[in-house]
Amino acid sequence: MTVPVPTSPPRAHPAGPPPRFEVAVVGAGAAGLAAALALARDGVETALVGRHAPVADGRTVALLDGSVRFLRVLGAWDEIAPHAAPLAELQIVDDTGSLFRPPPARFSASEIGLDAFGWNVESARLVETLRRQARTTPGLTLFEADSAGMHRADGAAALALEDGRSLEARLVVGADGGRSPLRTAASLRTREWSYPQAALTTLLAHDRPHRDISTEFHTRNGPFTLVPLPGGHRSSLVWVTAERAAKRLSDLDDAALAAAVEHQARSMLGAMRIDGPRGLVPMRGLSVANPVAERLALIGEAAHVFPPIGAQGLNLGLRDAAALRDAVFSAREANRDPGAPASLAGFARTRSMDARLRGTAVDWLNRSLLTGLLPVDALRGLGLVALGAIPPLRRFVMREGVQPRLGAPQLMR
């Protein structure tokens, strides 16, 4: 089965049979890079297929504790750490105007024995660091061209590349994004949905220090979130609001947008100025019923797309990458084919459950803010009050938010 992709005229194929690998990872984003590095570092002959073209849209990623552990094992964290800010505390402020508005809720990483829940870093820097690591990792071969299709052949999967080359692998990892051609070619069933919102993203400089506190305002149009960046006086912004309002904000000049952000933030960080590029991110979601097919496993946004709420999307994708590494090594230890259905069954089960639980939580939070129904407001408010008043419950929720204990991949423990 092949996915047709418009291409420029291909180059001539080199003589001889195509190179063969144990695993081929298609997609050079953070999840694909992490998967390829995790496999190659432990001796799995791995190919990484995909061009690298980062987009400057002012987006950052809050890498939760498990993701940081993973990146440390991959040898990438020491380079990233100086450019990341710790998220020592999380603060949630109800700004919906509801009759059931609870007091601000505050969560400290020290309550669960951590210095920080995670670390916030610019997305482009994370990907560039992983890319540099990939170029020097033994056993990892980079094909800096897009995939033009996949079909099964002789106990392997054959990948055609847009530049005319080809390769074979016993297992193909689809990390090729939310519009994944590999997922479409495999006819894996998906569910897609959207919200009447968009997220404005950018980087900010501000007069008052953030003190390593991430603050999320729950508004009637969606979450408005300020996340610390290094230096104490810079933060990243994710402002989820109605689509038209987001577009209007995006069209403002820097001074007007900074004033709007300061007003929405109740001047808690003082005067603001725009200090980076902007992005306008559609609010949509996607899930797959099953993230595997014959000789194919999906990870990252090829398997699940989350709106930018709660720092779940990329952290989930990195858990996918670490879990896939475990599945391949389990197959090796049992002398099984890593692309066989039996080798991927456990991966499919655990990753589907993790994505479903996280997706449901994010979807419920966002929709609860939009409804304006008093019973829903009351339920959300009572939940925050309970988290503040019941320490064991609060600590359990914090631990599960940072790193799920059930089925945690080996390199994240």
Question: pLDDT tens for residues 270-298?
Answer: 999 999 999 999 999 999 999 999 999 99
Which pLDDT band, with edges at 50, 70 and 90, does 153 fall under?
confident
**HSE on the CB side for 174, CA within 13 Å?**
31
**DSSP structure class, residue 24:** E
Query: In this model, does residue 54 exceed pLDDT 70?
Result: no
Residue 13 DSSP SS3: coil
Query: In this model, does residue 11 exceed pLDDT 70?
Result: no
As a whole number of angstroms, the distance between CA 5 and CA 255 comes to 43
82-112 residues labelled b (16+ CB within 10 A) or e (exposed): eebbbbbbbbbbbbbebebbbeebebbbeeb
Residue 8 DSSP SS3: coil
Report which of 312, 311, 286, 297 is spatially closest to residue 350, judged by C-alpha positions.
Answer: 297
As a whole number of angstroms, the distance between CA 308 and CA 284 comes to 9
Per-residue pLDDT, averaged over 255-266, amounts to 98
* CATH classification (class only), 20-55+124-191+286-370: alpha beta
Per-residue pLDDT, averaged over 77-104, amounts to 94
Region(s) of the chain under CATH 3.50.50.60: 20-55+124-191+286-370
* 201, 52, 30, 43: CA torsion to nearest 10: -170
As a whole number of angstroms, the distance between CA 23 and CA 20 comes to 9
What are 232-253's pLDDT values in tens digits?
999 999 999 999 999 999 999 9
360: tokens are: 């449901």
As a whole number of angstroms, the distance between CA 34 and CA 25 comes to 10
As a whole number of angstroms, the distance between CA 173 and CA 323 comes to 12
Region(s) of the chain under CATH 3.30.9.10: 62-123+195-283
> Structure pTM?
0.92
Residue with more model confidence, 189 or 58? 189
Q: What angle do CA 264, 265, 270 make, to 5 degrees?
A: 125
Is residue 159 within 8 Å of 146, Cβ to Cβ? Answer: no
Question: What pLDDT is attached to residue 12?
Answer: 44
Which pLDDT band, with edges at 50, 70 and 90, does 15 fall under?
low
Domain formed by 62-123+195-283, architecture: 2-Layer Sandwich (3.30)
Looking only at the bridges linking them, the beta strands covering 166-174 and 20-26 are parallel
